[in-house]
Amino acid sequence: MDPELLARIIERRAELDELEEELAKELAKVRAERDELAVAERVLERVSEQLADERASAAPASGQVGGRTVMLIPHRAPDVEENALPPDYQRLLAVVRQAAGPVMARQVGETLGVDVSVRSKLEPLRGKLVRLTDRGWLRKMPDGRFTTRQ
């Protein structure tokens, strides 16, 4: 057998083995990415369904965040009534609405009987007021006071 021809065959086989190994690695990456996309697609479908259900429902809905059930506050819209909010959020709106003008979170807390001297009791209240602001139910003034939307 021709030694030169045999050397070329061995060299080509080594090239093909190397190429096969690279292609196998690429194929593994493609399959992994395809699996990730399938998971992302399922998550997107679930989130879309959940959002559609939330929009269709006038009652407050609960959802899961970090494994905990939380109350979802709907965005203000012409077809969403105030009674779609959880009762404690309805009370907050009522207090802000009854005030003579824009109010601080501390004033809302005092009206509701919250011990506003304790920061750990005032901050959740402020968070709820901000959440109502983010959803379009209230308006936050530059000085931090809250007022109703017209």
The answer to which of 3-17, 40-54, 62-76 has the lowest mean pLDDT is 62-76
What does the pLDDT read at residue 63?
60
Indicate if the pLDDT at residue 78 is higher than 80.
yes
Mean pLDDT of the chain: 86
Burial of residue 3, with CB atoms counted within 10 A of its CB: 0-12 exposed, 13-18 middle, 19 or more buried? exposed
What does the pLDDT read at residue 11?
96
The pTM of the whole model exceeds 0.75: no
pLDDT, tens digit, 9 for 90 and up, residues 82-139: 888 888 899 999 999 998 889 999 999 989 888 888 888 889 989 999 999 999 999 9
Indicate if the pLDDT at residue 38 is higher than 70.
yes
